[in-house]
Amino acid sequence: MKRMNILLSLLLSLVLVAAACGDDDAGTTTTAAASTTTQPAAEETTTTVPPAPVLIGAIHPLTGGLAGAGNRMDNGARMAVDEINAAGGITSLGGAPLELISADSTGAPDVGQSEAERLISAGVSAIIGTYQSAVTTNVAAIAEREGVPLVIDVAVDDSILDQGYTYTFRLQPNATSMGTNGAKFLSELGGDEIKTVAYLHDDTGFGVSVSEAFTTAAAALGIEVITDITYAPFSVTDLTTEMAQAAAGSPDVIVITGYYNDGLLAARAAIDLEVDVKAIVGIAQGAFHTPQFVEDFGADAELFFNSNYHFNSSDPTVAGILERFEARFGEAMDTEAMLAYQAIYVVADALERAGSSDPADVRAALATTNIADHFLAYPGPITFDDTGENINAEPVLMQVIDGKVQQVLPIGLRETDPVFPGTSWGS
């Protein structure tokens, strides 16, 4: 009976914890008493001794449910560091090599935060990360307090940069850009044929922020969200009922936002139900534009859309990066890994221009970043506004056509014409 009581109290506490973590959009950052740690001044580098390596921290979920993406991102960052070092390191620092310190957020905001503190006390000049909005919110607060720049490779929530931070910069499109551009693509794609949408999304800060942005932007374009269905992305094992709910009001299109596993479940449910819609469109969806989705899903993957960040697949340089990654790590590189790879190049560029590894100098250099020869499908160079958003960060609309993820919008980045109405089971 004693065991029973222990088990019950355990279960109850788990339930309470789960309930408390229900909305990770709240971004509760523990503001500890601001300990003003002064960074040790960068050592005078003389030309006689070899220059000390510049430390860069990378925080991603290396274990837990998001470990797949997290490890690919860490590998992307590692590859960038090795390539920069092989090319002679940071010239303005006398050829100083970069040294990557990888940290595991485990997917938990509090762990991400303590890892950020650990990296900063180890003396990093900058941090990149973290794949999740909730974790990034906490890490950004620490970066600001300690005065170490954070370059966000992946994390979508607008509110991260709404705090007036000066030390945080974001490479990927934020939730507003994702939602707004997603709505724009829909209206461009379907014109008058898309009037109503059912939205199925995860209930974390990620899904909620993107869907809100989409709903607002879509309304302005005459597209109405008639159903909004949420689910818990890390505990869900079946989305058939949710998909049936989404299809119930006969929407023109079903829009999906979420991570990889739940995207898979949603896609399966749509195919099983043969939902009678004109298209299924992911917006910032973690699965529908990935190589393994196409590989594992086979013919069923055909005609799924996804409006998401994407590496510039028409650039031969990018093709080379993809090849090197696959040769080295034995799996296909995805855009998340490319963003982490890019983030290291952004930091290296700032170090080069700053001629210093002092975090404050790196921040100042990051603020004036202007990189035209980047690896992403953006309409312009990487350059940050006052809040730290990448001005030209925009998603592209992709569709699985003939077993390949192909860019279909905007016209300037089009690889092939979209298939619309786009469902493989036809109506």
Partner 1 sequence: MRGRSSKVVWAGLAVVMAGVVPQTAWWDLNHTVFAQAVVSGLLIGGVYSLVAMGLSLVFGVLDIINFAHGALMTIAIYASYLLFQNYGVDPYVSLLITIPLLFIVGVGIQRFAINPVMDAPVHNQLLLTLGIAIMIENLALVLFTGTPRSIELAYARNEFDLGVVTLDFPLKVFGAVVSLPKLVAFLAALVLAGVLYLLIQRTQLGTAIRASAQEPEGAELVGIDVRRIYMITFGIGAACVGAAGSLVLPFLFVAPTAGATFTIIAFVVVVLGGMGSIPGALVGGLVIGLTQELTQLFVPGSKFLGVFVVFLAVLLFRPEGIFGRVRR
Q: Least distance (Å) from partner 1 to the CB of residue 299?
A: 9
**Of the candidate residues 63, 92, 121, 370, the single one contacting partner 1 (CB under 8 A):** 63
Element housing 424 (H / E): none
Q: Among residues 99, 296, 323, 417, which is the contact residue for partner 1, using CB under 8 A? A: 296
Per-residue string for binding with partner 1, 311-340, x by CB under 8 A?
--------------------x---------
238 binds partner 1 (CB under 8 A): yes
Structure-block tokens of residue 201? 């999304």
Find the binder of partner 1 among 18, 122, 219, 220 (CB under 8 A): 18
- Counting contacts by CB under 8 A, is residue 424 touching partner 1? no
- For 60, 68, 135, 265, 423, the CA distances from 106, given in Å and listed in that order, are 8, 12, 10, 23, 37
DSSP states along 123-145: T-SEEEE-S-HHHHHHHHHHHHH
Closest approach of Cβ 230 to partner 1, in Å? 4
20 binds partner 1, rule: CB under 8 A: no
How many other CB atoms are there within 10 angstroms of residue 155's CB atom?
27
**Cβ atoms of residues 168 and 144 within 8 Å:** yes
Site string for partner 1, 67-96 (x = CB under 8 A): xxxxxx------------------------
Q: Is 65 in the site for partner 1 (CB under 8 A)?
A: yes
Strands 98-104 and 54-60: parallel
Residues 6+ apart with CB under 8 A from 413: 312, 314, 377, 396, 407
Q: How is residue 237 written in tokens?
A: 């094992």
**Owner of token pair 């016209």:** 411
Q: Indicate which single residue of 21, 45, 52, 64 sits in contact with partner 1 (rule: CB under 8 A).
A: 64
Q: Is 286 exposed, middle or buried (0-12, 13-18, 19+ CB in 10 A)?
A: buried
66 binds partner 1 (CB under 8 A): yes
The residue within the footprint of partner 1, chosen from 248, 379, 380, 417 (CB under 8 A), is 248
- Asked if 39 interacts with partner 1 (CB under 8 A), we say no
Supply 420's token pair.
């619309």
Which of residues 3 and 426 has its CB atom nearest to partner 1 in the complex? 3
Say whether residue 25 binds partner 1 (CB under 8 A).
no
In angstroms, give the least distance from the CB of 331 to partner 1.
6
Distance CA 125, CA 140 (A): 14
The residue within the footprint of partner 1, chosen from 140, 171, 225, 265 (CB under 8 A), is 265
- Tell me, rounded to whole angstroms, the distance of Cα 413 from its chain centroid: 21
Does 292 bind partner 1 (CB under 8 A)? Our answer is yes
For residue 13, state whether it binds partner 1 (rule: CB under 8 A).
Answer: no
Least distance CB 166 / partner 1 (angstroms): 34
392 lies in the binding site for partner 1 (CB under 8 A): no
Q: How many residues bind partner 1 (CB under 8 A)?
A: 53
Phi, psi of 365 (to 5 degrees): -70, -40
CB of 259 to partner 1, least distance (A): 9
Phi, psi of 291 (to 5 degrees): -60, -40
- The structure tokens listed for 129 are 């990360």
Q: Which letter, b or e, does each residue of 62-94 get, where b requires 16 or more Cβ atoms within 10 Å of its Cβ?
A: beebbbbbbbbbbbbbbbbbbbbbeeebbeebe
Q: Which stretch binds partner 1 (CB under 8 A): 131-139, 144-152, 226-234, 382-390?
A: 226-234
**Contact (CB, 8 A) for 271 and 370:** no
- Tell me, rounded to whole angstroms, the distance of Cα 105 from its chain centroid: 15
236 part of the interface to partner 1, by CB under 8 A: yes
State which of residues 52, 101, 221, 273 lies at the interface with partner 1 (CB under 8 A).
Answer: 273
Tell me if 427 contacts partner 1 by CB under 8 A. Answer: no
Site string for partner 1, 184-203 (x = CB under 8 A): -------------------x
Q: Which stretch binds partner 1 (CB under 8 A): 57-65, 85-93, 94-102, 381-389?
A: 57-65
Kindly report each contact of residues 46-49 with a partner whose C-beta sits within 8 Å and lies 24 or more positions away, as own/partner.
Answer: 47/94
Q: Does 341 bind partner 1 (CB under 8 A)?
A: no
Contacts to partner 1 by CB under 8 A: 1-4, 6-8, 10-11, 14-15, 18, 62-72, 203, 229-232, 234-238, 240-242, 244-245, 248-249, 260-261, 264-265, 268, 272-273, 292, 296-298, 300, 331
